[in-house]
Amino acid sequence: MKLKEIVFAGALFLSSSVAFSQDNLNFDVYNDWLLGINLNMSSLRITPKKIDFSFLKNLYSMEFNQLNDSTYQEIVRDNWARREEFFDYSKDSCYTLINYSVVKGEAREEKVAVIGRVFDKKYKSLFELFDDLENGRIKDGDSIHFPILGMPYSLEVNKQEEQHKIVYLGELEVKRDSGDTYIIGEPVKLYTTKENGKETPNGFFSAILNVKRNKKVSIEGRLKGKRD
């Protein structure tokens, strides 16, 4: 998998893990990228102010931080290519990408070009979406919208509820940078449990497809437990 595919996979995990509580949530993430063997070499941790996704034993990682009510930050670390990027957003009535900076490696021209991009009011941070979904404000047929690395993404939600178990299913609208070689191989599927009016995610599943290699890589997250 190339860096752009891995970064997108990280964004996909984060956007599909659609609920959290004041307790931290820790997921084991499995991928069949090597000889079709499903290996646990990745993880996802969600807290009220920070989301940390690590891929291939922290070879690649994505970090999302809600610094305050009006400042949102994304960090991408590629330890293989020795690159570390920061995306900073401010929020007034809507989100604006106010800065893109690189502390290691070379900046990407396509990201420099979108500094100053203003997102419509319907776009929310991952933390805001998590709060909406945890509290049942996302309904069947709704669309959710969020920025990832300076790009706009949308996910249309199909919600199936049976007693205390809920399944969310959605197709992600992919926004491509030049040179991207991936597409979504399967819909995003999220499993949650509803208790006392709140939803907690138990797991998620999807896949990405490398168009040039015609290779599909599965993505499966399993809730490991809660930490302090």
**Model confidence over 161-216: pLDDT tens digits?**
877 778 887 766 555 544 444 555 567 888 888 888 788 888 888 876 665 666 77
Q: Domains in the chain: how many in total? A: 1
pTM (two decimals): 0.81
Continuous segment of H or E residues that includes residue 89: strand 83-91
The answer to whether residue 132 is domain-embedded is yes
8 A C-beta contact, residue 133 and residue 183: no
8 A C-beta contact, residue 175 and residue 154: no
The answer to whether residue 56 is domain-embedded is yes
Task: Give the pLDDT confidence of 134-153 residue by residue, as tens digits.
Answer: 888 888 889 889 998 898 88
SS3 189: strand
User: Residue 38: which domain range?
Assistant: 3-63+126-227
The answer to whether residue 78 is domain-embedded is no
Amino acid residing at 113: A
Q: What is the pLDDT of residue 209?
A: 65
Q: How many other CB atoms are found less than 10 A from the CB of residue 116?
A: 11
Q: Which residue has the tokens 């690649």?
A: 60
The answer to whether residue 69 is domain-embedded is no
Contact residues for 186 (Cβ-Cβ < 8 A; gap 6+):
205, 206, 207, 216
The answer to whether residue 86 is domain-embedded is no
The answer to whether residue 74 is domain-embedded is no
